[in-house]
A and B are shown apart, each in its own frame.
Chain A
Amino acid sequence: MFDFLEPFFFAVFSLGIIGAGVCVVMLRRITAQALLMALTFASMAGMFLLLGAETIALFQVLIYVGAITILILFGVMFTKQDDRGYALFFQKQTPWAAAFTLVIAVPVVFLAFSFKDAITPSGKGGDLIPLAGSLFTDYAFPFEIASVLLLAALVGAIVLVKRDEQ
């Protein structure tokens, strides 16, 4: 009965991701760009939902929309709010960049269809317990290294912005 829903939502979300992503690059207003980025993230969460990974979708929204976008807006508000006369995208190199991108993107898109057997999602991403279990057993090492990475990034961010000692 509702078979049409999944492709429909897939279309909506992909449009959200790609459209908002393109706008982020092309628009002139940095606040709008930040918000459209939030839309991209939210559409990504929608994709995760379609794949049956509710937990990841929620984390995606929690972290990317709820925290990262806010922090970006927080930073944007400290900057000058004049609209630029140009978008970052339209510079001297644009024709070259466009041509180069086309040369690379078109084959990639076409070759994407040559996937023989794509992996079907298990649909078990909503279950938190196996997710947490594999994170702390199989993936324990990359997980811990990621935490070291966050620590390093934290230290780095503080070093780069800390006031000079008197």
Chain B
Amino acid sequence: MPMGPFGIDPVIWAVLRLVIAVGLAVFLVLNGALAQIFLERKIQAVMQDRIGPYHTGPFGLLQTFADAIKLIGKEDIRARLTDAPFFLAAPAIVFSPMLASFVVLPFGPDFVGANLNVGLLYLTTLGSMTVLGIVIAGWASNNKYSLMGGLRSAGQLISYEVPQILALVTVVLYVGSLSMVDITNSQPGPLVNVLILPMAFVTYLIAALAETNRNPFDLPEAESELVAGFLTEYSGMRWGVFFVAEYGEVTVVSAIMATLWFGGWHGPGVDALPILGVLWFTLKTYMFVLLFMWIRATLPRLRIDQLMGFCWKVLIPLALVNIMATAVLILAFADPRLPLAIVNWILVAALVFGLPFTQRRRLLRFRARTKEHVAMRDVRLAP
């Protein structure tokens, strides 16, 4: 009889492996979410000059656990006029692609669920499927605010998928592979991709913020306008699943950024002690998680027209120029790193310094119009 690992029958092992893998992923995601929620609350508190959770456990560490238990214990409420099958399915449709994403994340030199040769494409695909769940949640709630949330989500996510993929293509062009492991291995030294392809990074960062519904792109659940958007009718653990999925998404895009632009698991001491790679990877990933939280605490929410305008008129053209330049430079130079870096940094500068300029013109125009209004009112009011 053939033997699998640990002396287990291979048939049973195949199933067992699946169970273990999924269990591990769920464990990771849930813990990640718990940690992130705690972090988020603490960091927001610090930035807003508050203390944040402190009552339950040391430094309030157990607060999220308490919240999670509360959520699970809550009554499962489904409003009568919601569309039952879709309403119930939506959290799962949001959650499962996120969970599946963890398969290809390269945690360390030998800690990869599956080294797909199209790993990046796989991640993008799963990322795009999440939208479906959000749109369905918005529709099935049978509530106009939820519907608006779903609509915004659909419009926003489809638009921002374009610059996101374009940014990824730039890196893939440069590295020459879609495999997450290959991409990590292509940047062993201190010269990580972000120094060479910063424009792609900035594009992806912005698109990822929109893709994960984080500030300043959290229009689908904008509480000041839409109650809670597509989440309005959800409560208890169903709501919790959406939340966990959102934090999981944040982790996934952070991991993608850490891998594609910051060398993934590479770091001092990894060659000697491979397990250290996991630490480096986690650190880099959480660096972006923290960045997301910082952005959330800092930036106000955009209006929907600004959001779309920025995507289609600024981000996508720049990303296209970037792809074109990258492709040409890679073909033109044997070692394209320096020219690539120059072009990319110029594009970043154009984005960073160009944006305030266009906004300033708009502001001036607005002020002029207001002045005109005031003047006209004064004329009318004059006796």
Contact = CB atoms under 8 A, between A and B. Distances in A.
Interface of A: 1-2, 31-32, 35, 38, 54-55, 58-59, 61-62, 65-67, 69-71, 73-74, 76-77, 126-128
A62 B117 contact: no
B139 A67 contact: no
Interface of B is mostly: helix
A67 B161 contact: yes
Contacts of B131: 66, 70
Contacts of B200: none
Contact of A73 (B117, B118, B139): B139
Contact of B132 (A59, A66, A126): A66
B10 interface: yes
A70 B125 contact: no
A77 B150 contact: yes
A74 B154 contact: yes
A128 B127 CA distance: 20
B230 to A, nearest CB: 12
Interface in B65-87: 83, 86
B147 interface: yes
Given A1-B11, A65-B132, 7 more contacts: A31-B83, A55-B121, A58-B125, A66-B131, A70-B131, A73-B132, A77-B135
Interface of B: 10-11, 14, 83, 86, 116-118, 121-122, 124-125, 127-129, 131-132, 135-136, 138-139, 147, 150-151, 154-155, 157-158, 161, 178
Contact of A38 (B118, B125, B132): B132
Contact of B178 (A66, A71, A128): A128
Contacts of B122: 58
Given A55-B121, A58-B121, A71-B158, A77 B128 contact: no
Contacts of B178: 128
A38 B131 CA distance: 13
Contact of A77 (B132, B151, B157, B161): B151
Contacts of A55: 118, 121
A23 B83 CA distance: 18
| Residue of B125, B128, B136 with most partner-chain A CB within 10 A | B125
Contacts of B132: 35, 38, 65-66, 69-70, 73
A55 B125 CA distance: 11
A57 to B, nearest CB: 9
B116 A77 contact: no
Given A70-B131, A73-B135, A73-B139, A58 B154 contact: no
15 contacts: A1-B10, A54-B118, A58-B118, A58-B121, A58-B122, A59-B125, A65-B129, A67-B128, A70-B157, A70-B158, A74-B158, A77-B147, A126-B117, A128-B118, A128-B121
B154 A70 contact: yes
A71 B155 CA distance: 8
Contact of A35 (B10, B14, B86): B86
A103 B353 CA distance: 68
User: 5 closest pairs, A vs B, by CB?
Assistant: A66-B128, A62-B125, A74-B154, A58-B125, A58-B121
